[in-house]
Structure 1
C-alpha cells in the first residue's frame, strides 16, 4: 500500500522526474567540461605556447634591456610557469640603478618587466672622464660619451658620506636650481668636513656646507635677485648669507627670505 502511494505521488508530480533529469544533465556537463579543461591544460603545458616567447622591458634609460633581462634570470624558451615574479623583482631591485621593478606574466607566453630607475643628478669627474651619479649616491661605471645633460659636474668627491649627503640635498632642490649649478667641489675645512664650493652658470660662486645645503640653496634665485648682475663674487651660505665681490674687500649681508609656513 505504501509503494502504491509513492508511485501515485510520482505520477502526479512529473516535475520531480524532470528535476532529477536536470541534475543528472548538469553533473554530466560539469564532468565533461572539467575533462576538456584538463585536456586543454595538459596540451598547453606540453605545447610551445607555454614557453616564454618574448620578454618586454619598459621604463629603462640608464640600464640596457639586455642587462635587465640577464639580471632577472628570465630567458626566452623557459616555461612561463617557472617565472617567480616576487623573487625576480628582488633580483632587479638589488641593482643600484633600479629603484623599483614589477614583473608580470602576459598570457599566453610573454613576460613584462617594468622598472623605475634611480634619478641621475650629477656627473663625477675623474681625469677627463665623466661618470653619472645617481640620487642614491651610486656612481655608474660607464663614462658618458659626448656632451652630457645640463647637470652639475662634481670634483674631488668619492663614494661615501659627503657624496650621499650631496645627492640627498640635490634631490630635494627644484630642477631649475640643480640645472643652474655648473660645478661642485668638495673642499673640506678643519672647522667643516662637509664644506663645498659651487660655480654657477650665471657667474656667481657659492660657499656652503652640506649640513644646510638644501635649506639655503632653495633661496638662491631670491638671493641673486638682490644683487647687481654686473658684479660677480662669492655668495657665502655657511653661516647666514653674505656676498663678497671679486674686486672688493667689502662684504654685503644678504637678507634671507622668510621661510613660508
Structure 2
C-alpha cells in the first residue's frame, strides 16, 4: 500500500531589503533633523545672565567664560565655563546653569571683603579674604564694619597674609576692628597694632591673630579700654592706670 508524500512548504523569504531600506531612511531622517537643529536659532545661545558680581565686571566674567550670544548652546559644557570663570582673582565659586533653549546662567560668589585701604590718592581699595585687592571707589555698599589698613607698603606679603587671617575671623569680632597698622620688630616681623571701635589698642602678630582673637574678644567684653599685648604672652593694662614704658618687655621681645 503506497502513501503519498506530503508537500513541503517553502519557507517565507525574509524581506531583508525592505528592512535595510527602512533603517537607512530612518538614519537619514535623523541626520537631516540634526543638521536642521544645529543650524537653527534654537540651538544657539540667545542670552547670558550673570549675577552675584560686586567687584568683578560682567564684561570680565563674559570674557573669562569664553561664550557669547550666537555660540552653540551645547558647544561648551557648564563645567568648562565654571573652570574658566573661577580663574578670576575675586571669584570664590561659580555655578553655571543651562536652561534650554538658549539661556546660560552664571552665578558668581566672590571672596568676602575683610578690610579696606585708602591710598595716598584718596582711592578706596577693598581687600578680599584671599589677599586680592579690588577697586572700591565707586562701590555704594562700602561697609563700616570692616577695618581700615593704614601705613602698608604696596605688595607687602604680610598684608596679603593678614587679609587671609582676617577672613577666618567671625563677622561680629571683625566688625570691632577699626584700624590695623604694621609695627614689625626683630622677633615679630609680622607684628601689627590694631585699634578697635571699643577703644582698645592691641599689639599682636599676623601669624597668631586667628588663635588670639577669642581671648581678645573675652578681654574686650569684660574689661575697661586699655592696651592689650598678645604675642608669646598676653598682657592687659587699662588706660586709666597710666601704663609705664615697659622697656624690659621690649628688650625681651626683640631677643626672642
Contact 2:158 2:190 in 1 (8 A): yes
Counterpart in the other structure of 2:147: 152
Q: Residue 99 of structure 2: which of 92, 100, 106 is its match?
A: 106
1:78 pairs with 2:81: no
Please list, as runs of the form range in 1=range in 2, the aligned pairs for 1:1-261 lying within 5 A after superposition.
4-7=7-10, 33-83=26-76, 85-127=78-120, 128-145=122-139, 148-149=142-143, 150-157=145-152, 158-228=154-224, 232-250=225-243
Note the residue ranges of structure 2 that are not aligned, 5 or more in a row.
245-256
C-alpha distance after superposition, 1:74-130 (max 9, x if no partner) = 111223243354443333222101123344543222222232221211111213332
Contact 2:55 2:134 in 1 (8 A): no
Give the deviation of 1:144 after TM superposition: 4.5
Note the residue ranges of structure 1 that are not aligned, 5 or more in a row.
11-16, 252-261
The TM-score, its normalising length taken from structure 1, stands at 0.77
**Distance in 1 of aligned mates of 2:104 and 2:49:** 6
Structure 1 stretch 40-49 or stretch 242-251: which is displaced more? Answer: 242-251
The TM-score, its normalising length taken from structure 2, stands at 0.78
Give the deviation of 1:145 after TM superposition: 4.6
CA RMSD of aligned residues (A): 3.1
Kindly indicate whether structure 1 or structure 2 has the higher relative contact order, using CA contacts under 8 Å at least 6 residues apart.
2
Contact 1:98 1:116 in 2 (8 A): yes
Residue 218 of structure 1 aligns to a residue whose secondary structure is helix
